[in-house]
Amino acid sequence: MDPLMTSVAQAVRRRAEPAVPEGELDPDTELSALGVTSLGVAGLLVDLEETFSLRFPADAVTPEVFRTVRTLTEAVRPLVTPPHRQEQERAGTDADS
Read off the pLDDT of residues 60-92 as tens digits, 9 standing for 90 and up: 999 999 999 999 999 999 999 877 565 556 676
Domain map of the chain by residue range?
A: 3-83
For the structural domain made of 3-83, what CATH number should be given?
Answer: 1.10.1200.10
For residue range 1-37, list pLDDT tens digits in order: 899 999 999 999 999 988 787 778 999 999 999 999 9
The answer to whether 15 and 75 have CB atoms below 8 angstroms apart is no
CB 65 within 8 A of CB 71: yes
- Tell me the residue type at 57: P
Helix axes of 38-52 and 69-80: crossing angle, nearest 10 degrees = 30
pTM: 0.81
5-23 exposure pattern, b = at least 16 Cβ within 10 A, e = fewer: bebbbebbbebbeeebeee
